[in-house]
Amino acid sequence: MSEETFVGIDVSKARLDGAILPSGEIFAVDQTQDGLSTLLIRLSDVQPALVVVEATGGLEQAAMLALHDAGIPVSVLNPRQVRHFSRALGKHAKTDRIDAVLLARFAQTLHPPAQVPGDASQRALEALLARRR
């Protein structure tokens, strides 16, 4: 029986840094339509049990929706949970690549549930409410 594959993606404005566990493969793609297409092709090859991204004020939305629409299970994590997990592991270094590995390890260890994004009107309402806060 083969091990389940988990992917962590660290999201920034220009780039998506990813890590695949248990293989340990690290990759990066641009945060563009072409980059998202490349990401989907790469992940369709490994068929992950779960992809996790950290909530980053909306920057994660395009990747999350693309993954969900492609039928890949995805979960958006609260940054506070990830920070506590990192501290529990004694990890204090902070780079995009290290964060991607940490996110994949979070998924591998804790198996957070996959999320289903709301429809477009629900997402628009949530964005307005978040902006109001």
In this predicted model, what pLDDT tens digit does every residue of 9-53 receive, in sequence order? 999 999 999 999 999 999 999 999 999 999 999 999 999 999 999
Euclidean distance between CA atoms 27 and 32, whole angstroms: 15
More confident residue, 103 or 125: 103
Please tell me the pTM assigned to this model.
0.89
Residues ≥6 apart with Cβ < 8 Å to 10:
16, 17, 18, 53, 54, 96, 97, 99, 100, 103
In a domain? residue 1: no
Task: Provide the number of structural domains found in the chain.
Answer: 1
Residues ≥6 apart with Cβ < 8 Å to 81:
106
Which range marks the domain in which residue 62 is found?
6-132
In this predicted model, what pLDDT tens digit does every residue of 121-133 receive, in sequence order? 886 777 777 777 7
Q: What is the dihedral of CA 33, 35, 36, 42, to 10 degrees?
A: 150
Closest CA to 86 of 10, 3, 5, 4: 10
Maximum CA extent, the chain: 49
In a domain? residue 58: yes
CATH number of the domain at 22, please. Answer: 3.30.420.10
Q: What is the dihedral of CA 92, 98, 103, 105, to 10 degrees?
A: -90
In a domain? residue 62: yes
